[in-house]
Amino acid sequence: MQEFCAARRWLAALILVLPVCTLQAAPPASSGWASRPEVVEFVREMVDKHGFDQAGLIDVFDRTRTADLALKLIAPPPATGKRSWSAYRARFVEPVRIRDGLRFWREQADPIRRASERFGVPQEIIVAIIGVETVYGRNTGDFKVMDALTTLAFDYPRRAPFFREELEQFLLLSRDAAVDPLQWRGSYAGAIGLPQFMPGSIRRHAIDFDGDGRVDLRTSASDAVGSVARFLSNHGWRPGEPTYFQAIVEDEARARPAVEAGVPPKLSLTELAALGVSSPQSIAGAEPLSLIDLPDGDKPTQYVLGTNNFWVITRYNRSYFYAMSVIDLARALKDAANAPQPGKRPVER
């Protein structure tokens, strides 16, 4: 009964009228969010900027709860040891993700092929991103997105502007979909669905790829596949180009300025050579590159030369470890798909 009334109140906010609900239930204890000055100001901005109904939006914040666990999970871990590329990679390039990835690839062969052809992104990269993000939909998160985003927007000063923007986008997304914001589930950071898109990315890059007239990244694998490919394409993916080249670093201290230059790639082969950086591979053309360092605990640091497409993957997640894990899982998936398997048909590409 209470959920019915809440849904009516939210839909009323969408059409800018006051709610009418004749079936009354005892309201839950107030969370306190709706009375906080910064939330009141945020609501006023949403009313002025996007035409939200103030009473309806205040009601949404009244039903929102503080996600204490989200604050704990998003906090940077204490610096207790050296970063290890090998340990990080092993979490994602592993038998379960390869096995389940091949199954996902076969089951979604048609949308994966269509997405690759339309957006120019290799099939294995699309599959690998969904594998790294949620193990092909197995782990999409069980936090209430409204709770998580509100908590991080107003109680996590370190990244408050980012999460306030995502909260704004999330409320717009909910209004567009005519869904009560409290019904969405996702990660502790507010990411949603198989590809773990933030609300702003859903509104900018997600696509209805199964033709049912709506975008659904939570249950439609086709929409997830098409949206991942479109995201990478919109960020400048270049079809047919590599993601990186092997790097040889003569002296780490001398090469440090190249590492600190970061991404996107901006260094020429000549500039890299002046810093003692080269590649055993033949690199055609004059496209700029970036020197990517992969610290590996007590082992020597590994280096690669990142291309534009490496940088595009970091638009999904800024971590170099993340980008290389996607690339390595994609390679492992492609190798496994091409390997002879008695009694099984290979993935059609």
Reduce the DSSP state of residue 5 to 3 states and report it: helix
Output the pTM of the full model.
0.89
Percent of the chain clearing pLDDT 90 (strictly above): 85
Question: Is the pLDDT assigned to residue 27 strictly greater than 50?
Answer: no
What is the amino acid identity at position 62? D
Q: How confident is the model at residue 284 (pLDDT cuts 50, 70, 90)?
A: confident
Q: How confident is the model at residue 26 (pLDDT cuts 50, 70, 90)?
A: very low
Q: What is the pLDDT of residue 14?
A: 45
Question: Is the pLDDT assigned to residue 31 strictly greater than 80?
Answer: no
pLDDT (tens digit, 9 = 90+) per residue, 112-132?
999 999 999 999 999 999 999
Q: What is the pLDDT of residue 78?
A: 78
For residues 182 and 6, the answer to whether their CB atoms sit within 8 Å is yes
Cβ contacts of 162 within 8 Å, gap of 6 or more: none
Q: How confident is the model at residue 286 (pLDDT cuts 50, 70, 90)?
A: confident
Q: What is the pLDDT of residue 29?
A: 52
What's 2-63+141-191's CATH class? mainly alpha
For residues 330 and 124, the answer to whether their CB atoms sit within 8 Å is yes
- First-to-last alpha carbon distance for the chain, in angstroms, is 50
pLDDT (tens digit, 9 = 90+) per residue, 293-318?
999 999 999 999 999 999 999 999 99
Q: What is the pLDDT of residue 343?
A: 62
Reduce the DSSP state of residue 302 to 3 states and report it: strand
Q: How confident is the model at residue 349 (pLDDT cuts 50, 70, 90)?
A: low
Residue appearing with tokens 């990142």: 306
- 297's torsion region: left (phi>0), alpha (psi -120 to 50) or beta? left
Rounded Cα–Cα distance for residues 109 and 101 (Å): 11
Q: What is the pLDDT of residue 82?
A: 86
Q: What is the pLDDT of residue 346?
A: 56
CA distances from 144 to 33, 156, 310 (A): 15, 17, 32
Average pLDDT for the chain: 91
Q: How confident is the model at residue 110 (pLDDT cuts 50, 70, 90)?
A: very high
Q: What is the pLDDT of residue 189?
A: 98
Beta strand 248-249 pairing with 244-246? unpaired
pLDDT (tens digit, 9 = 90+) per residue, 163-180?
999 999 999 999 999 999
Q: How confident is the model at residue 2 (pLDDT cuts 50, 70, 90)?
A: very low
Mean pLDDT to the nearest integer, 263-273: 96
Question: Is the pLDDT assigned to residue 321 strictly greater than 60?
Answer: yes
Beta strand 143-144 pairing with 185-186? antiparallel
Q: Higher confidence at residue 343 or residue 261?
A: 261
Minimum mean pLDDT range among 148-157, 193-202, 280-289, 317-326: 280-289
Cβ contacts of 114 within 8 Å, gap of 6 or more: 209, 226
Q: What is the pLDDT of residue 344?
A: 60
Catalytic residues: 133
Reduce the DSSP state of residue 159 to 3 states and report it: helix
Q: What is the pLDDT of residue 278?
A: 96
Residue appearing with tokens 């503080």: 66
For residues 166 and 131, the answer to whether their CB atoms sit within 8 Å is no
Q: Any alpha helices (H) in 108-207, and if so which ranges?
A: 109-119, 123-134, 145-155, 160-177, 199-205
Cis bond before residue 264 (omega within 30° of 0): yes
For residues 277 and 250, the answer to whether their CB atoms sit within 8 Å is yes
Mean pLDDT to the nearest integer, 202-222: 97
CA distances from 168 to 39, 43, 69, 173, 256 (A): 12, 10, 22, 9, 39
Q: Higher confidence at residue 341 or residue 214?
A: 214
Phi, psi of 186 (to 5 degrees): -170, -155
Question: Is the pLDDT assigned to residue 325 strictly greater than 90?
Answer: yes
Break the chain into its structural domains and give their ranges: 2-63+141-191
Q: What is the pLDDT of residue 231?
A: 98
Hey, what long-range contacts does 52-57 have (CB within 8 A, 24 or more apart)?
A: 52/13, 52/16, 52/171, 52/175, 53/12, 53/13, 53/14, 53/16, 53/17, 53/18, 55/13, 55/18, 55/19, 56/9, 56/10, 56/12, 56/13, 56/14, 56/18, 56/19, 57/13, 57/171
